Amino acid sequence: MNDLTYISYIPLWAVLVSLAAVPLILMSSRKPNLRETWTLLAAGIKFLLVFSLLPGALEGKSAVIGLLEISPGVDLALKADPFGVFFALISSGLWMFTSIYSIGYMRGNREHKQTRYFASFAVCLSATIGIAFSANLLTFIIFYEILTIATYPLVIHKETREAIRGGRQYLLYTLTAGLLLIAAAAWTYMATGSMEFKAGGFFEGTELSSAAMTTLFFLFLGGVGVKAGIMPLHSWLPTAMVAPTPVSALLHAVAVVKAGVFGVIRVVGFVFGPEVMAAHGLNIILAVFAATTIILASLLAFKQENLKRRLAYSTVGHLSYIVLGAALLTPSGFTGGLMHIATHATMKITLFFCAGAIYINLHRENISQLNGIAKIMPWTMAAFVIGSLGLAGVPPVNGFVSKWYLAMGALEADQLVVLGIFILSGLLNAGYFFPIIHRAYFRKGEGLKGHKEASALMVVPLVATALLSVLIGLRPDLFFHIFELAGGIARSITGVVP
Amino acid sequence: MVKNAPILIPVVYLTACLVIALIRPRFRHFAYPVTLVAVSLASAISIGMLCLVIQYGIMRYQFGGWVPPIGIEYVIDPLSGFVLVVINAVACLVLIHSLNVNKVEMDQRLVPYYAVVMLFMLGLNGMVLTGDFFNLFVFLEISSLAAYGLIAVGSKGSAFAAFRYLILGTVGASLYLLGLGFLYLKTGSLNMADLAAIIPFVQPQKDPALIIALVLMTTGICIKMAIVPLHGWLPDAYTLAPSVTSSLIAPIGTKVAAYVLIRMLFGVYGVDVISREFPITFVLGWLAAAGIIYGSVMAIAQTELKRMLAYSSVAQVGYIGLGISMANPLGLIGAVLHVLNHAVMKACLFLVAANLRIQTGHSDISRFDHTYRVKMPWTMAAFTVAAISMIGLPPLAGFFSKWYLALGAIENSQWIFLGVILVSSLLNAVYFFRIIEKVYMKSPGDHAAKEEPAVKFGSVEPALSMLVPTIVFAVLLIGLGLFNALIVTRLILPMLPPGM
């Protein structure tokens, strides 16, 4: 076991670098350019630090660092295992794009309190990386709660009545979830004497009855399921769309919700473990919730007139793809689910960037107002098309790759129903995205004269993430070795070579 | 010198009290420095004693060389040493803060006020120091009488609140004394260590008198501790008392009562009697749980910051009671840790309330808006930190006491109590985020038209003597959270009573 871990401070620096940027950001609130420099600098350094952990993660090694004893016998400890590196890589990588985009968005919209915005964003990223690198449940909870609190100022950023209501709902859901998670962690600790995440789980050989096991699983599910948007715990997410678009893009498509999904996989693969899950039928509970969410969210997405809300429901659906993939408990299922964390992130962030660019440029939020906008915003809409195609599962965009493995996982587990759900949902995705494309390209627009493409600070990031989506679709192992990493994690959880 | 250390704290306070009382009204501002010297000396002595106790074991001081149980003795063990440090250190910061507050609120009465503060501290310290139940009663009366006085000098209605506290407090003290009478009749001793050795031979389960003594004394202490439904005196007393009094009594007053409860239940009667043979902890647990919910719900309903904090205290004392009632190591760790954490949190919050009252003339929640944050950023930052800690979010201090309480509840399979701990966190979130939302977001335009905000100093950050203690408390909350394991293993584990 020891040859699989090595001591390194890099995970700690990766967490702290954006936290260190916070005072700098606060101090330079009068000089916007300097302030944004700090954000970009922190984003860049953070990504490089995480990236430097990749070679070790590819060999299956984990960088560990114990900081201090936070509760007798439990350390505040960071462990950059392959799964953590995988998630951290995606979050920190996309933070760079979002930072550039944020500058364009916030200045384009002349938003107030930008300093608070950038500072909170930096704290969020610290918490996200902390979640990724948490070595045990208690550390996980600490960063999980920090993420909750740090996201709150971003959700209520507009300070309108609607934003404050959204913020209250957000807090109600996420704080309750945090409490359930605390209860679950405490119970786990009392039952097993451990909180250390371990590939394959650490619940084997405990004396809990099946009923207690199921209750405990529901506590965990309530804890991480809220951020993962599993129905019926999803309704904070569409409400939280009152936040500025970059927040929706990074946090509500990547960092926060993926932290929830990350938590689900941690619980499934690293706390309970596939064998215990299967032995107590917990995977079936999870699969039923996830499958229902996929279908319902896709159907609800049709009803949404507001572009961002439609994207939010689409996010809810896609998050459950990942959960469903994990619930299959097969190597390909895990691989597909993990891949979907990455692929959905790049695609959905592109779509949100597009929605934000349209909003800043034309002040239009509703789908019915999007007629003919492709003529004036060709780059934005091209990126939107790529993202939509990807989410519907059309090759060569990366959504195809993850769906392929999810489908394989369903076949491995002999779950034809699950396969059917994936296919049906792909069609539904096409159903709710293509009308938008149709309007943008083939209908005549009104009142578009005098408007041009959005500012380069927004267009460049969204085109870049769209290209990234295609690139990952064509060569998943290019640069970041996402596929290799996902496969390795799936092997470590299931103990099977896919 | 070291041998005589335990007696030094009462001597310091008593001397300070006499010195202050002799100050002529013309020189009344000298009362403040004398108070500070006394309380910092006491803090230093208690920290020193705690270190000694942790290193070398229990310290005993016998009065006049009379050997207990004939004579009275002071005992410093890890538990009493810990509580001493908490009350003296917290009081020290609160009293540093008191300079400007008292100048505004009671300029003419500084001399008697600080003299009574010294008596109050003497009483509390004595209750913790003593190893004798009757001596404890004497100090209890000293601290209570001083507290009535400290409350009664407040705003309109405070005399009534103090009178109410006096009636209830006296009932509590009388119940305690009555119980003590039974105990003395049956065992012939008043010394705690001595009683602990005698009681197993008397077999309390067969002797109703000892049980009655237990019940009477517990009830009496619970009044002092404000366990629901015996909390009636608390909300008015905390709200109407002068700012310094409430920030002094709220963090440490009820904690000392909690200490006495732990001493009596675990130190004298023992775990077996109170949890198995005569399960008084069962009743205590349910009352505490009810108190947690009741206090939190009532806090939500309040529109005045200090009154809200007072009800929040009722709830938080419930946590301590709940931890004690679990009668297992984890629960007790949670309770003792919460004594510390809640003292710091509540002190911080009451100091914020005092800052608001001095700078703006009120602490009425409905009038808060974001100018408060703009004008007083540090005070409000401290408030936010303390509020988040009260809600119990990691890594702040408040989380960890709840964490141990949750672990203790699970160990006893008390699922309802676990639920209560979690639900009350949410209720805490409701009443604190309501304020945070106002302070950070509500635009002042909403009510500026209706009334002119009463401003005394101009709404800016208060003087450094007020700001620094507030911020120190907030920073302490972060430190206590991160290093709680150190506190638990070094300080709290050695104080667990035998049999756990």
pLDDT score at A160: 82
CA pair distance A347, A339, nearest whole angstrom? 12
CA A395 to CA A65: how far, in whole Å? 41
Q: How far apart are CA B342 and CA B396, in angstroms?
A: 12
Q: Which of A226, A11, A237, A250 is nearest to A117 (CA)?
A: A250
Percentage of chain B beyond pLDDT 70 is 96
Mean pLDDT of A147-154: 88
Q: Is A168 on the interface with B (CB under 8 A)?
A: yes
Nearest to A171 among B399, B403, B433 (CB): B433
Which stretch, A99-108, B66-75, B333-342, B387-396, has highest mean pLDDT? B333-342
Those of residues 201-220 in A touching chain B at CB distance below 8 A are: none
Which chain B residues touch A168 with a CB distance below 8 Å? 433, 437
pLDDT of B425 over the 50 cut? yes
- Of B469 and A250, the one with more pLDDT: B469
- The Cα A4–Cα A79 span in angstroms is 11
Whether B116 has a pLDDT exceeding 80, the answer reads yes
Res. A14: pLDDT tops 90:
no
* Mean pLDDT to the nearest integer, A294-310: 88
Which structure tokens are listed for A468?
């990234």
- Which of A209-223, A415-429, A447-461, B161-175 is least confident? A447-461
Does B393 contact A180 at a Cβ distance shorter than 8 Å?
Answer: no
pLDDT band, very low/low/confident/very high, at A3 (cuts 50, 70, 90)? low
Confidence of residue A497 (pLDDT cuts 50, 70, 90): low
Per-residue pLDDT band at B366 (split at 50, 70, 90)? confident
B418 → closest Cβ in A76, A178, A183: A183
HEC-encoded secondary structure of chain B: CCCCHHHHHHHHHHHHHHHHHHCCHHHHHHHHHHHHHHHHHHHHHHHHHHHHHHHHCCEEEEHHHCCCCCCCEEEECHHHHHHHHHHHHHHHHHHHHHHHHHHHHCHHHHHHHHHHHHHHHHHHHHHHHECEHHHHHHHHHHHHHHHHHHHHCCCCCHHHHHHHHHHHHHHHHHHHHHHHHHHHHHHCCCEHHHHHHHHHHHCHHHCHHHHHHHHHHHHHHHHHHCCCCCCCCHHHHHHHCCHHHHHHHHHHHHHHHHHHHHHHHHHHHCHHHHHHHCCHHHHHHHHHHHHHHHHHHHHHHCCEHHHHHHHHHHHHHHHHHHHHHHCCHHHHHHHHHHHHHHHHHHHHHHHHHHHHHHHHCCCEHHHCCHHHHHHCHHHHHHHHHHHHHHHCCCCCHHHHHHHHHHHHHHHCCCHHHHHHHHHHHHHHHHHHHHHHHHHHHCCCHHHHCCCCCCCCCCCCCCCHHHHHHHHHHHHHHHHHHHCHHHHHHHHHHHHCCCCC
**What is the pLDDT at residue B257?**
93
Confidence check: pLDDT of A9 > 50: yes
Partner-chain contact B388 A149, CB within 8 Å: yes
The highest-confidence range among A444-448, B24-28, B398-402, by mean pLDDT, is: B398-402
What φ, ψ does residue B356 adopt, rounded to 5°? -65, -45
ipTM of the complex: 0.85
pLDDT of residue B454 exceeding 70: no
B262 pLDDT band, cuts 50/70/90, is: very high
- Please state whether the peptide bond connecting residue B279 to the residue before it is cis, i.e. omega within 30 degrees of 0: no
For residue A498, what pLDDT is reported?
A: 46
Q: CA of A215, closest CA in chain B: separation in Å?
A: 12
Is the Cβ pair A68, B483 closer than 8 Å? yes
Nearest to B150 by CA among B130, B121, B175: B121
The tokens of A111 are what? 């938003």
Whether the Cβ atoms of residue A404 and residue A486 lie closer than 8 Å to each other: no
CA distance A380 to A407: 31
pLDDT interval class at B316 (50, 70, 90): very high
Residue numbers in B near A179 (CB within 8 A) = 422, 425-426
- Among A112-116, A318-322, B143-147, top mean pLDDT goes to B143-147
The pairing of strands A62-71 and A74-80 is: antiparallel
Residue of B nearest to A157 (CA): B441
| Banded pLDDT at B321 (limits 50, 70, 90) | very high
Most confidently modeled of A5-14, A102-111, B111-120? B111-120
The per-residue pLDDT for A2 is: 52
pLDDT at A194 (0 to 100)? 83
Q: In the predicted model, is pLDDT for residue B357 greater than 60?
A: yes
- Determine, for residues A175 and B395 on separate chains, whether the beta-carbon distance falls below 8 Å: no
Does residue A67 sit in helix, strand or coil? strand
User: Span A257-269, mean pLDDT?
Assistant: 89
Q: How far is CA A306 from CA A288, A356, A369, B175, in A?
A: 29, 12, 10, 67
Domain ranges of chain B: 304-500
Point out the least confidently predicted range of A12-16, A482-486, B33-37, B126-130.
A482-486
Please give the angle made by the CA atoms of B356, B360 and B363, to the nearest 5 degrees.
50
Residue type, A233: L
Tokens representing A408 are 């394989």
Q: What is the pLDDT of residues A335-348, one digit of tens each?
A: 888 888 888 888 88
Q: Which residues contact B474 (CB under 8 A, 6 or more apart)?
A: B348, B381, B382, B385, B386
Residue B338 has pLDDT above 80, yes or no: yes
Predicted local distance difference test score (pLDDT) of residue B451: 47
A202 three-class SS: coil
Query: A405-419, B236-250, B432-446: which has the highest mean pLDDT?
Result: B236-250
Task: Give residues with Cβ within 8 angstroms of B171, minimum separation 6.
Answer: B220, B223
Sorted by sequence, the CB contacts under 8 Å of residue A183 that are 6+ apart come out as A219, B406, B418, B422
Residue B315 has pLDDT above 90, yes or no: yes
Cis peptide before B395 (omega within 30 of 0): yes
Tokens of A156: 């209520």
Is the Cβ–Cβ distance between B491 and B82 less than 8 Å? Answer: yes
Residue A261 has pLDDT above 70, yes or no: yes
Interface of B with A (CB under 8 A): 388, 391, 393-395, 399-400, 402-404, 406-407, 410-411, 418, 422, 425-426, 429, 433, 437, 440-441, 482-486, 488-489, 493
- Model confidence at B450, pLDDT cuts 50, 70, 90, reads very low
Type of residue numbered B164: R
**Looking at the predicted structure, is the pLDDT value of residue A370 above 60?**
yes
> What does the pLDDT average to over A315-324?
90
Q: How far is A139 from chain B (nearest CA, A)?
A: 9
Nearest to B420 by CA among B294, B315, B308, B292: B292
Closest CA to B4 of B63, B71, B77: B63
The whole-angstrom separation of Cα B126 and Cα B6 is: 10
Question: By the 8 A CB rule, do B399 and B468 touch?
Answer: no
**Cβ proximity of A321 and A344 under 8 Å:** yes
**Residues B47-74: what's their mean pLDDT?**
89
Report pLDDT digits (tens) over A213-233: 888 889 999 988 888 888 888
Average pLDDT over residues B323-343: 92
Q: Which residues pair with A75 in a beta bridge?
A: A69
Selection from B478, B440, B119 nearest residue A154 by Cα: B440
Q: Is the pLDDT of residue B173 over 60?
A: yes
Rounded Cα gap, residues A54 and A82, in angstroms: 8
pLDDT tens digits for A242-256? 888 888 887 777 888
CA distance A207 to chain B (A): 14
- What angle, 0 to 180 degrees and rounded to 10, lies between the N-to-C axes of helices B464-482 and B397-411? 40
Three-state secondary structure call for residue A60: coil
DSSP state of A454: P
A7 three-state secondary structure: strand
Beta strands at A62-71 and A5-7: parallel, antiparallel or unpaired: parallel
Give me the torsion for CA of B111, B114, B116, B120, rounded to 10°: -170
Average pLDDT value for chain B: 88
Question: pLDDT band at residue B455, thresholds of 50, 70 and 90?
Answer: very low
Percent of chain A with pLDDT over 70: 99
Which residues of A fall within a CB distance of 8 Å from B482?
A: 68, 70, 76
Q: Which pLDDT value is given to residue A334?
A: 87
Mean pLDDT along residues B422-431: 91
Q: What is the pLDDT of residues B487-500, one digit of tens each?
A: 888 888 888 877 66
C-alpha angle with apex A99: A346 to A390, nearest 5 degrees? 15
Q: Which of A246-250, B262-266, B356-360 has the highest mean pLDDT?
A: B262-266
pLDDT at B473: 93
Where does residue A214 rank: exposed (0-12), middle (13-18), buried (19+ CB within 10 A)? middle
Q: Is the Cβ pair A183, B406 closer than 8 Å?
A: yes
Q: B229 preceded by cis ω (within 30°)?
A: yes
For residue A493, pLDDT beyond 70: yes
Helices (H), A227-306: 236-239, 245-250, 256-265, 274-279, 282-303
pLDDT (average), residues B373-399: 88
Q: In terms of C-beta distances under 8 Å and separation of at least 24 residues, what long-range contacts does A434-438 make, across chains too?
A: A434/A388, A434/A392, A435/A367, A436/A307, A436/A310, A436/A367, A436/A370, A436/A384, A436/A388, A437/A381, A437/A384, A437/A385, A437/A388
What is the pLDDT at residue A435?
Answer: 87
Residue-level pLDDT at A1: 42
Q: Does position B392 have pLDDT exceeding 80, yes or no?
A: yes
The pLDDT of residue B170 = 94
Structure confidence at residue A60 as a pLDDT band (50, 70, 90): confident
Q: How many CB pairs under 8 A join A and B?
A: 76
Structure confidence at residue B290 (pLDDT)? 94
pLDDT over threshold 90, residue A165: no
DSSP letter (8 states) at residue A280: T
